[in-house]
Structure 1
Amino acid sequence: MEKKVNIIGIKFNHISMKQAIDLVMGYLVTANEKTHMICTPNPEIVMIAQKEGRLKEIINSSDLVVPDGIGIVKAAKILGNPLPERVAGYDLVQNVFRKISKTVHTVYFLGGAPGVAEIAAKNMMEKHPGLKVIGYQDGYFSQDKEKTIIEEINSLSPDLLLVGFGAPKQEFWISDNKNKLKVKACIGVGGSFDVMSGQIKRAPKWMIKCNLEWFYRLIKQPTRIKRMILLPIFMIKVIFNR
Protein backbone atom coordinates (compact mmCIF):
# COMPACT_ATOMS: atom_id res chain seq x y z
CA MET A 1 0.00 0.00 0.00
CA GLU A 2 1.39 3.39 -0.98
CA LYS A 3 2.45 5.54 1.96
CA LYS A 4 0.51 8.75 2.61
CA VAL A 5 1.30 11.71 4.85
CA ASN A 6 -1.71 13.34 6.51
CA ILE A 7 -1.39 17.12 6.88
CA ILE A 8 -4.44 18.31 8.86
CA GLY A 9 -6.79 16.15 6.85
CA ILE A 10 -5.14 16.27 3.42
CA LYS A 11 -3.32 13.09 2.43
CA PHE A 12 -0.14 13.62 0.40
CA ASN A 13 1.74 10.91 -1.46
CA HIS A 14 5.10 10.21 0.18
CA ILE A 15 6.95 10.80 -3.05
CA SER A 16 9.98 12.46 -4.65
CA MET A 17 9.93 14.57 -7.81
CA LYS A 18 11.41 11.70 -9.83
CA GLN A 19 8.79 9.27 -8.53
CA ALA A 20 6.00 11.75 -9.29
CA ILE A 21 7.25 12.21 -12.87
CA ASP A 22 7.40 8.44 -13.35
CA LEU A 23 3.84 8.06 -12.02
CA VAL A 24 2.46 10.73 -14.37
CA MET A 25 4.29 9.18 -17.30
CA GLY A 26 2.76 5.85 -16.30
CA TYR A 27 -0.71 7.39 -16.42
CA LEU A 28 -0.05 8.63 -19.95
CA VAL A 29 0.76 5.18 -21.31
CA THR A 30 -2.11 3.42 -19.55
CA ALA A 31 -4.47 1.46 -21.77
CA ASN A 32 -7.58 1.78 -19.59
CA GLU A 33 -10.19 4.50 -19.98
CA LYS A 34 -9.77 6.03 -16.53
CA THR A 35 -8.88 9.72 -16.32
CA HIS A 36 -6.28 10.16 -13.58
CA MET A 37 -6.49 13.29 -11.42
CA ILE A 38 -3.36 14.95 -10.04
CA CYS A 39 -3.59 17.60 -7.31
CA THR A 40 -0.83 19.97 -6.16
CA PRO A 41 -2.00 21.51 -2.85
CA ASN A 42 -0.03 24.23 -1.09
CA PRO A 43 -0.79 25.46 2.47
CA GLU A 44 -3.39 27.90 1.14
CA ILE A 45 -5.33 25.12 -0.59
CA VAL A 46 -5.05 22.92 2.51
CA MET A 47 -6.60 25.76 4.54
CA ILE A 48 -9.41 26.24 2.01
CA ALA A 49 -10.10 22.50 2.28
CA GLN A 50 -10.63 22.87 6.04
CA LYS A 51 -13.87 24.71 5.27
CA GLU A 52 -14.65 23.16 1.89
CA GLY A 53 -15.39 19.55 2.71
CA ARG A 54 -15.96 18.71 -0.93
CA LEU A 55 -12.49 19.98 -1.87
CA LYS A 56 -10.92 17.81 0.83
CA GLU A 57 -12.82 14.78 -0.46
CA ILE A 58 -11.77 15.46 -4.08
CA ILE A 59 -8.08 15.87 -3.19
CA ASN A 60 -8.00 12.79 -0.98
CA SER A 61 -9.63 10.64 -3.67
CA SER A 62 -7.21 11.84 -6.38
CA ASP A 63 -4.67 9.48 -7.94
CA LEU A 64 -1.68 11.65 -7.02
CA VAL A 65 -1.35 14.45 -4.44
CA VAL A 66 2.02 16.23 -4.35
CA PRO A 67 3.30 18.84 -1.85
CA ASP A 68 3.39 22.15 -3.72
CA GLY A 69 4.88 24.52 -1.17
CA ILE A 70 7.73 24.37 1.32
CA GLY A 71 5.15 24.93 4.07
CA ILE A 72 3.74 21.45 3.41
CA VAL A 73 7.21 19.88 3.67
CA LYS A 74 7.93 21.73 6.94
CA ALA A 75 4.51 20.75 8.31
CA ALA A 76 5.18 17.07 7.59
CA LYS A 77 8.48 17.33 9.47
CA ILE A 78 6.77 18.98 12.46
CA LEU A 79 4.20 16.17 12.49
CA GLY A 80 7.00 13.59 12.59
CA ASN A 81 6.24 12.09 9.19
CA PRO A 82 8.60 13.89 6.78
CA LEU A 83 8.11 14.05 3.04
CA PRO A 84 11.08 13.38 0.70
CA GLU A 85 10.98 16.87 -0.86
CA ARG A 86 8.82 19.63 -2.25
CA VAL A 87 7.20 18.65 -5.55
CA ALA A 88 6.11 21.98 -7.00
CA GLY A 89 3.27 21.64 -9.51
CA TYR A 90 4.93 23.98 -12.00
CA ASP A 91 8.20 22.02 -11.89
CA LEU A 92 6.37 18.71 -12.16
CA VAL A 93 4.61 19.89 -15.32
CA GLN A 94 7.87 21.19 -16.83
CA ASN A 95 9.59 17.88 -16.13
CA VAL A 96 6.70 15.97 -17.71
CA PHE A 97 6.87 18.29 -20.74
CA ARG A 98 10.57 17.50 -21.06
CA LYS A 99 9.82 13.78 -21.02
CA ILE A 100 6.87 13.78 -23.42
CA SER A 101 8.55 16.11 -25.91
CA LYS A 102 10.43 12.99 -27.03
CA THR A 103 7.21 10.98 -27.44
CA VAL A 104 3.88 11.06 -29.27
CA HIS A 105 1.96 12.21 -26.16
CA THR A 106 -0.15 15.35 -26.51
CA VAL A 107 -1.36 18.16 -24.23
CA TYR A 108 -4.31 20.57 -24.06
CA PHE A 109 -4.23 23.89 -22.15
CA LEU A 110 -7.51 25.00 -20.51
CA GLY A 111 -7.68 28.18 -18.42
CA GLY A 112 -6.22 31.62 -17.92
CA ALA A 113 -7.33 34.97 -19.29
CA PRO A 114 -8.17 35.31 -23.01
CA GLY A 115 -5.05 34.78 -25.12
CA VAL A 116 -2.86 33.57 -22.24
CA ALA A 117 -3.20 29.81 -22.84
CA GLU A 118 -2.34 30.31 -26.53
CA ILE A 119 0.85 32.25 -25.72
CA ALA A 120 1.73 29.74 -22.99
CA ALA A 121 1.32 26.86 -25.46
CA LYS A 122 3.58 28.51 -28.05
CA ASN A 123 6.21 29.34 -25.42
CA MET A 124 6.25 25.79 -24.06
CA MET A 125 6.58 24.25 -27.53
CA GLU A 126 9.52 26.57 -28.15
CA LYS A 127 11.08 25.75 -24.77
CA HIS A 128 10.56 22.00 -25.20
CA PRO A 129 11.11 21.19 -28.91
CA GLY A 130 8.89 18.29 -29.89
CA LEU A 131 6.19 19.07 -27.29
CA LYS A 132 2.74 18.68 -28.87
CA VAL A 133 0.18 21.13 -27.46
CA ILE A 134 -2.78 20.31 -29.69
CA GLY A 135 -5.32 22.77 -28.30
CA TYR A 136 -5.99 25.62 -25.90
CA GLN A 137 -8.95 27.50 -24.49
CA ASP A 138 -9.14 30.35 -21.99
CA GLY A 139 -11.02 29.96 -18.74
CA TYR A 140 -13.59 32.66 -19.44
CA PHE A 141 -16.45 30.70 -20.91
CA SER A 142 -20.12 30.35 -20.08
CA GLN A 143 -21.75 27.17 -18.80
CA ASP A 144 -23.50 26.91 -22.17
CA LYS A 145 -20.13 26.74 -23.94
CA GLU A 146 -18.71 24.16 -21.53
CA LYS A 147 -20.26 21.22 -23.40
CA THR A 148 -18.73 22.44 -26.69
CA ILE A 149 -15.30 22.75 -25.05
CA ILE A 150 -15.49 19.22 -23.65
CA GLU A 151 -16.51 17.95 -27.08
CA GLU A 152 -13.52 19.72 -28.64
CA ILE A 153 -11.14 18.24 -26.06
CA ASN A 154 -12.57 14.78 -26.66
CA SER A 155 -12.31 15.15 -30.44
CA LEU A 156 -8.60 15.93 -30.04
CA SER A 157 -8.17 13.27 -27.31
CA PRO A 158 -5.05 14.75 -25.64
CA ASP A 159 -3.16 12.51 -23.24
CA LEU A 160 -2.70 15.30 -20.68
CA LEU A 161 -5.12 18.11 -19.82
CA LEU A 162 -3.88 21.10 -17.82
CA VAL A 163 -6.66 23.06 -16.09
CA GLY A 164 -5.75 26.53 -14.84
CA PHE A 165 -8.83 27.97 -13.12
CA GLY A 166 -7.28 28.43 -9.69
CA ALA A 167 -8.27 26.49 -6.57
CA PRO A 168 -10.80 25.24 -5.72
CA LYS A 169 -12.59 25.91 -9.03
CA GLN A 170 -10.19 23.77 -11.08
CA GLU A 171 -10.47 20.81 -8.69
CA PHE A 172 -14.27 21.03 -8.73
CA TRP A 173 -14.30 21.25 -12.54
CA ILE A 174 -11.99 18.27 -13.05
CA SER A 175 -13.96 16.18 -10.54
CA ASP A 176 -17.28 17.09 -12.19
CA ASN A 177 -16.09 16.35 -15.71
CA LYS A 178 -13.38 13.68 -15.58
CA ASN A 179 -15.85 10.91 -16.42
CA LYS A 180 -16.86 12.85 -19.56
CA LEU A 181 -13.30 13.53 -20.70
CA LYS A 182 -11.28 11.32 -23.05
CA VAL A 183 -7.92 12.19 -21.52
CA LYS A 184 -5.52 10.05 -19.52
CA ALA A 185 -4.56 12.61 -16.88
CA CYS A 186 -5.68 16.02 -15.60
CA ILE A 187 -3.61 18.41 -13.50
CA GLY A 188 -4.94 21.55 -11.82
CA VAL A 189 -2.18 24.09 -12.50
CA GLY A 190 -3.51 27.28 -10.88
CA GLY A 191 -1.82 30.34 -12.38
CA SER A 192 0.90 28.40 -14.22
CA PHE A 193 -0.27 29.60 -17.64
CA ASP A 194 0.53 33.17 -16.56
CA VAL A 195 4.11 32.06 -15.85
CA MET A 196 4.39 29.96 -19.01
CA SER A 197 3.14 32.88 -21.11
CA GLY A 198 5.57 35.34 -19.52
CA GLN A 199 2.79 37.42 -17.94
CA ILE A 200 4.29 36.69 -14.53
CA LYS A 201 7.95 35.87 -13.89
CA ARG A 202 8.90 33.06 -11.57
CA ALA A 203 11.33 33.66 -8.71
CA PRO A 204 15.08 33.45 -9.48
CA LYS A 205 16.54 29.97 -9.02
CA TRP A 206 18.49 30.98 -5.90
CA MET A 207 15.27 32.13 -4.19
CA ILE A 208 13.53 28.87 -5.13
CA LYS A 209 16.48 26.90 -3.70
CA CYS A 210 16.31 28.95 -0.51
CA ASN A 211 12.55 28.33 -0.23
CA LEU A 212 11.80 32.03 -0.72
CA GLU A 213 9.55 31.76 -3.76
CA TRP A 214 6.55 32.80 -1.63
CA PHE A 215 8.40 36.01 -0.66
CA TYR A 216 9.20 36.82 -4.31
CA ARG A 217 5.53 36.39 -5.23
CA LEU A 218 4.51 38.70 -2.41
CA ILE A 219 6.95 41.41 -3.56
CA LYS A 220 5.71 41.15 -7.16
CA GLN A 221 2.02 40.89 -6.19
CA PRO A 222 1.40 42.74 -2.90
CA THR A 223 -2.31 41.90 -3.19
CA ARG A 224 -1.33 38.32 -2.28
CA ILE A 225 -0.96 39.46 1.34
CA LYS A 226 -4.56 38.40 2.04
CA ARG A 227 -3.70 34.88 0.90
CA MET A 228 -0.35 34.86 2.70
CA ILE A 229 -2.10 35.47 6.02
CA LEU A 230 -3.28 31.85 5.76
CA LEU A 231 0.34 30.60 6.04
CA PRO A 232 0.92 31.38 9.75
CA ILE A 233 -2.60 30.14 10.54
CA PHE A 234 -1.74 26.92 8.70
CA MET A 235 1.47 26.42 10.72
CA ILE A 236 -0.31 27.13 14.02
CA LYS A 237 -2.96 24.57 13.13
CA VAL A 238 -0.26 22.02 12.26
CA ILE A 239 1.54 22.59 15.58
CA PHE A 240 -1.69 22.16 17.54
CA ASN A 241 -2.36 18.92 15.64
CA ARG A 242 1.13 17.59 16.33
Structure 2
Amino acid sequence: MNEKVEILGVSIGNKSMEEARATVEEFLARDGLDTLYTPNTEIVMEARKNTRLREILNRGSLVVPDGIGLVYASRIKRKPLQERVAGFDLSIEMLDIADKRGYSIYLLGGEEGIAKKAGEEIVKRYPGAKIAGYHNGYFKGAHIGKGGHEEEQKIISDINSSGADILFVGFGAPKQEYWIEENKDKLNIKLAIGNGGTMDVLAGKTKRAPEIYQKLGLEWFYRLIKDPRRITRQLSLPLFMLTVIFTRDSVK
Protein backbone atom coordinates (compact mmCIF):
# COMPACT_ATOMS: atom_id res chain seq x y z
CA MET A 1 0.00 0.00 0.00
CA ASN A 2 1.31 3.42 -0.96
CA GLU A 3 1.92 5.73 2.01
CA LYS A 4 0.85 8.68 -0.13
CA VAL A 5 -1.32 9.14 -3.20
CA GLU A 6 -0.75 12.16 -5.41
CA ILE A 7 -3.94 13.60 -6.90
CA LEU A 8 -3.58 16.42 -9.46
CA GLY A 9 -0.23 17.30 -7.94
CA VAL A 10 -1.31 17.25 -4.28
CA SER A 11 0.23 14.53 -2.12
CA ILE A 12 -2.37 12.96 0.19
CA GLY A 13 -1.52 10.72 3.12
CA ASN A 14 -3.01 7.26 2.67
CA LYS A 15 -4.16 6.71 6.23
CA SER A 16 -7.27 5.47 7.95
CA MET A 17 -8.79 7.66 10.66
CA GLU A 18 -7.22 5.39 13.27
CA GLU A 19 -3.80 5.77 11.66
CA ALA A 20 -4.22 9.54 11.33
CA ARG A 21 -5.04 9.75 15.04
CA ALA A 22 -1.93 7.73 15.89
CA THR A 23 0.16 10.08 13.73
CA VAL A 24 -1.28 13.09 15.58
CA GLU A 25 -0.28 11.48 18.88
CA GLU A 26 3.25 11.01 17.53
CA PHE A 27 3.40 14.68 16.50
CA LEU A 28 2.31 15.81 19.95
CA ALA A 29 4.91 13.62 21.66
CA ARG A 30 7.88 15.09 19.81
CA ASP A 31 9.61 18.44 19.65
CA GLY A 32 8.99 21.01 16.94
CA LEU A 33 5.87 22.09 15.08
CA ASP A 34 3.96 19.84 12.68
CA THR A 35 1.32 21.05 10.23
CA LEU A 36 -1.87 19.24 9.31
CA TYR A 37 -4.02 20.09 6.27
CA THR A 38 -7.42 18.74 5.23
CA PRO A 39 -8.06 19.37 1.51
CA ASN A 40 -11.25 18.39 -0.26
CA THR A 41 -11.85 18.21 -4.03
CA GLU A 42 -12.45 21.96 -4.28
CA ILE A 43 -9.13 22.74 -2.59
CA VAL A 44 -7.25 20.22 -4.74
CA MET A 45 -8.72 21.83 -7.87
CA GLU A 46 -7.60 25.24 -6.59
CA ALA A 47 -4.14 23.86 -5.80
CA ARG A 48 -3.82 22.51 -9.34
CA LYS A 49 -3.60 26.08 -10.67
CA ASN A 50 -2.35 27.76 -7.47
CA THR A 51 1.31 26.79 -7.16
CA ARG A 52 1.70 28.51 -3.79
CA LEU A 53 -1.16 26.54 -2.24
CA ARG A 54 0.00 23.27 -3.79
CA GLU A 55 3.52 23.68 -2.42
CA ILE A 56 2.22 24.52 1.05
CA LEU A 57 -0.01 21.44 1.11
CA ASN A 58 2.84 19.24 -0.06
CA ARG A 59 5.05 20.53 2.76
CA GLY A 60 2.43 19.56 5.35
CA SER A 61 3.44 16.99 7.97
CA LEU A 62 0.13 15.21 7.40
CA VAL A 63 -2.40 15.83 4.62
CA VAL A 64 -5.68 13.92 4.82
CA PRO A 65 -8.45 13.46 2.23
CA ASP A 66 -11.39 15.48 3.54
CA GLY A 67 -13.51 15.01 0.42
CA ILE A 68 -15.11 11.73 -0.65
CA GLY A 69 -14.35 12.73 -4.25
CA LEU A 70 -10.64 12.28 -3.55
CA VAL A 71 -11.29 8.72 -2.41
CA TYR A 72 -13.43 7.95 -5.47
CA ALA A 73 -10.77 9.41 -7.79
CA SER A 74 -8.03 7.32 -6.21
CA ARG A 75 -10.09 4.18 -6.64
CA ILE A 76 -11.00 4.94 -10.24
CA LYS A 77 -7.28 5.23 -11.01
CA ARG A 78 -6.44 2.12 -8.97
CA LYS A 79 -4.31 3.92 -6.41
CA PRO A 80 -6.91 3.64 -3.63
CA LEU A 81 -6.91 5.82 -0.56
CA GLN A 82 -8.13 3.82 2.44
CA GLU A 83 -10.96 6.12 3.42
CA ARG A 84 -12.13 9.69 3.77
CA VAL A 85 -10.60 11.36 6.82
CA ALA A 86 -12.83 14.37 7.43
CA GLY A 87 -11.11 17.39 8.93
CA PHE A 88 -13.92 17.84 11.44
CA ASP A 89 -13.75 14.22 12.58
CA LEU A 90 -9.97 14.33 12.92
CA SER A 91 -10.29 17.55 14.91
CA ILE A 92 -12.66 15.72 17.28
CA GLU A 93 -10.09 12.93 17.61
CA MET A 94 -7.54 15.61 18.54
CA LEU A 95 -9.88 16.95 21.22
CA ASP A 96 -10.26 13.43 22.59
CA ILE A 97 -6.47 13.07 22.71
CA ALA A 98 -6.22 16.43 24.47
CA ASP A 99 -8.88 15.30 26.95
CA LYS A 100 -6.98 12.12 27.79
CA ARG A 101 -3.48 13.64 27.82
CA GLY A 102 -4.18 17.14 29.13
CA TYR A 103 -3.05 19.02 26.02
CA SER A 104 -4.10 22.64 25.55
CA ILE A 105 -5.71 24.18 22.48
CA TYR A 106 -5.77 27.71 21.06
CA LEU A 107 -8.72 28.53 18.79
CA LEU A 108 -8.11 31.03 15.99
CA GLY A 109 -10.77 32.01 13.47
CA GLY A 110 -14.44 32.63 12.87
CA GLU A 111 -16.60 35.63 13.64
CA GLU A 112 -16.37 37.48 16.93
CA GLY A 113 -17.51 35.18 19.74
CA ILE A 114 -17.40 31.93 17.75
CA ALA A 115 -14.00 30.74 19.01
CA LYS A 116 -14.97 31.62 22.59
CA LYS A 117 -18.23 29.69 22.31
CA ALA A 118 -16.47 26.74 20.69
CA GLY A 119 -14.00 26.71 23.58
CA GLU A 120 -16.82 26.66 26.11
CA GLU A 121 -18.43 23.70 24.35
CA ILE A 122 -15.11 21.87 24.12
CA VAL A 123 -14.46 21.99 27.87
CA LYS A 124 -18.01 20.76 28.54
CA ARG A 125 -17.48 17.69 26.38
CA TYR A 126 -13.77 17.20 27.00
CA PRO A 127 -13.05 18.37 30.56
CA GLY A 128 -9.47 17.11 30.45
CA ALA A 129 -8.64 19.39 27.52
CA LYS A 130 -7.50 22.92 28.24
CA ILE A 131 -8.44 26.00 26.22
CA ALA A 132 -5.28 28.09 26.17
CA GLY A 133 -6.91 31.03 24.39
CA TYR A 134 -8.92 32.17 21.41
CA HIS A 135 -9.24 34.98 18.87
CA ASN A 136 -11.52 35.70 15.93
CA GLY A 137 -10.31 35.59 12.33
CA TYR A 138 -10.74 39.30 11.67
CA PHE A 139 -7.29 40.82 11.95
CA LYS A 140 -4.55 41.97 9.60
CA GLY A 141 -2.19 39.11 8.88
CA ALA A 142 -0.60 36.77 6.36
CA HIS A 143 -3.97 35.20 5.48
CA ILE A 144 -5.02 38.46 3.77
CA GLY A 145 -1.59 39.46 2.45
CA LYS A 146 -0.59 41.56 5.46
CA GLY A 147 1.97 39.29 7.08
CA GLY A 148 3.93 40.80 9.92
CA HIS A 149 1.26 43.36 10.78
CA GLU A 150 1.26 44.40 14.44
CA GLU A 151 -2.20 42.84 14.92
CA GLU A 152 -0.81 39.49 13.77
CA GLN A 153 2.33 39.87 15.88
CA LYS A 154 0.20 40.44 18.96
CA ILE A 155 -1.84 37.30 18.29
CA ILE A 156 1.28 35.20 17.74
CA SER A 157 2.68 36.53 21.02
CA ASP A 158 -0.60 35.60 22.73
CA ILE A 159 -0.51 32.07 21.30
CA ASN A 160 3.08 31.56 22.39
CA SER A 161 2.55 32.90 25.89
CA SER A 162 -0.60 30.79 26.32
CA GLY A 163 1.37 27.55 26.39
CA ALA A 164 -0.88 25.98 23.76
CA ASP A 165 0.07 22.60 22.30
CA ILE A 166 -2.50 22.57 19.47
CA LEU A 167 -3.67 25.42 17.26
CA PHE A 168 -6.96 25.25 15.36
CA VAL A 169 -6.87 27.72 12.45
CA GLY A 170 -10.31 28.22 10.93
CA PHE A 171 -10.06 30.82 8.16
CA GLY A 172 -11.14 28.56 5.31
CA ALA A 173 -8.86 27.55 2.44
CA PRO A 174 -6.50 28.84 1.22
CA LYS A 175 -6.24 31.58 3.87
CA GLN A 176 -5.62 29.19 6.74
CA GLU A 177 -2.88 27.38 4.81
CA TYR A 178 -1.21 30.68 3.92
CA TRP A 179 -1.32 31.83 7.52
CA ILE A 180 0.11 28.63 8.97
CA GLU A 181 2.90 28.49 6.39
CA GLU A 182 3.94 32.11 6.91
CA ASN A 183 3.93 31.89 10.69
CA LYS A 184 4.92 28.33 11.56
CA ASP A 185 8.51 29.29 12.37
CA LYS A 186 7.27 31.91 14.85
CA LEU A 187 4.90 29.64 16.78
CA ASN A 188 5.95 27.76 19.92
CA ILE A 189 3.35 25.01 19.61
CA LYS A 190 3.36 21.33 18.65
CA LEU A 191 0.65 21.07 16.01
CA ALA A 192 -1.28 23.47 13.79
CA ILE A 193 -4.30 22.30 11.80
CA GLY A 194 -6.24 24.20 9.16
CA ASN A 195 -9.76 22.96 9.84
CA GLY A 196 -12.13 25.39 8.16
CA GLY A 197 -15.58 25.57 9.73
CA THR A 198 -14.88 23.18 12.62
CA MET A 199 -15.26 25.93 15.21
CA ASP A 200 -18.56 27.05 13.68
CA VAL A 201 -19.93 23.53 14.20
CA LEU A 202 -18.52 23.22 17.72
CA ALA A 203 -20.02 26.60 18.62
CA GLY A 204 -23.42 25.56 17.24
CA LYS A 205 -23.46 28.18 14.48
CA THR A 206 -23.70 25.55 11.76
CA LYS A 207 -24.68 21.87 11.76
CA ARG A 208 -23.08 18.90 10.10
CA ALA A 209 -25.08 16.74 7.76
CA PRO A 210 -27.04 13.88 9.37
CA GLU A 211 -24.97 10.73 9.84
CA ILE A 212 -26.58 8.90 6.92
CA TYR A 213 -25.35 11.61 4.54
CA GLN A 214 -21.88 11.39 6.07
CA LYS A 215 -21.73 7.61 5.67
CA LEU A 216 -22.86 7.81 2.04
CA GLY A 217 -20.35 10.55 1.25
CA LEU A 218 -23.17 12.98 0.48
CA GLU A 219 -22.45 15.81 2.90
CA TRP A 220 -21.95 18.08 -0.12
CA PHE A 221 -25.47 17.23 -1.33
CA TYR A 222 -26.97 17.97 2.09
CA ARG A 223 -25.24 21.36 2.18
CA LEU A 224 -26.53 22.08 -1.32
CA ILE A 225 -30.09 21.29 -0.28
CA LYS A 226 -29.74 23.58 2.72
CA ASP A 227 -28.14 26.37 0.68
CA PRO A 228 -28.78 26.21 -3.10
CA ARG A 229 -26.45 29.20 -3.53
CA ARG A 230 -23.60 26.72 -3.10
CA ILE A 231 -24.29 25.28 -6.57
CA THR A 232 -21.33 27.12 -8.12
CA ARG A 233 -18.96 25.68 -5.52
CA GLN A 234 -20.47 22.20 -5.76
CA LEU A 235 -19.87 22.12 -9.50
CA SER A 236 -16.20 21.66 -8.64
CA LEU A 237 -16.93 17.99 -7.77
CA PRO A 238 -18.07 16.81 -11.24
CA LEU A 239 -15.39 19.00 -12.82
CA PHE A 240 -12.81 17.38 -10.54
CA MET A 241 -13.94 13.88 -11.49
CA LEU A 242 -13.85 14.67 -15.21
CA THR A 243 -10.38 16.18 -14.82
CA VAL A 244 -9.12 13.08 -13.02
CA ILE A 245 -10.63 10.69 -15.56
CA PHE A 246 -9.36 12.49 -18.67
CA THR A 247 -5.98 13.71 -17.45
CA ARG A 248 -3.00 11.42 -17.88
CA ASP A 249 -1.21 10.58 -14.62
CA SER A 250 -3.80 12.55 -12.63
CA VAL A 251 -3.36 10.08 -9.77
CA LYS A 252 0.02 8.60 -8.87
Q: TM-score, normalised by structure 1?
A: 0.96
Distance between the aligned counterparts of 1:10 and 1:204, measured in 2? Answer: 29
The DSSP-based 3-state class of the residue aligned with 1:179 is helix
Q: Which of 204, 210, 220 matches 1:204?
A: 210
- Aligned match of 2:95 in 72, 94, 97? 97
Alignment correspondent of 1:218: 224
- 1:117 counterpart letter in structure 2: A
Partner of 1:7 in structure 2? 7
Identify unmatched segments of 5+ residues in structure 2: 141-148
Q: In the TM superposition, what whole-angstrom CA distance separates every residue of 1:92-120 from its partner, at most 9, and x where no partner exists? A: 01012112202121110000011111111
Quick one: distance in 1 between partners of 2:100 and 2:37? 25
CA distance in 1, matches of 2:247, 2:216: 27
- The one-character-per-residue Cα deviations of 1:147-202 (angstroms, maximum 9, x if unpaired) are 00000000012111010001001000000000000011100011111111111111
One-letter identity of the residue aligned with 1:111 = G
List gaps (5 residues or longer) in structure 1: none
What is the DSSP-based 3-state SS (H/G/I as helix, E as strand, rest coil) of the residue aligned with 2:185? coil
- Find out whether 1:166 has 2:172 as its counterpart: yes
Equivalents in 1 of 2:13, 2:109: separation in Å?
26
Supply the RMSD in Å over aligned alpha carbons: 1.3
1:38 aligns with 2:36: yes
Structure 1 window deviating more from structure 2 (37-46 vs 204-213): it is 204-213
Map Cα deviations across residues 42-71 of structure 1 (whole Å, 9 max, x no partner): 000001101210100010111101000110
Whole-angstrom CA distance in 2 between matches of 1:16 and 1:241: 27
Number of matched pairs: 240
Q: Which residues of 2 match residues 65-214 of structure 1 at below 5 A?
A: 65-142=63-140, 143-214=149-220
CA distance in 2, matches of 1:189, 1:75: 22
Match of 2:61 among 55, 60, 63: 63
Aligned to 2:127, what secondary structure does the other structure show? Answer: coil
Aligned identity (percent) is 49
Q: Secondary structure at the match of 2:173?
A: coil
Asked if 1:230 corresponds to 2:236, the answer is: yes
**C-alpha distance in 2, partners of 1:95/1:191?**
16
Task: Give the match for residue 23 of structure 1.
Answer: 23
Q: TM-score, normalising length from structure 2? A: 0.92
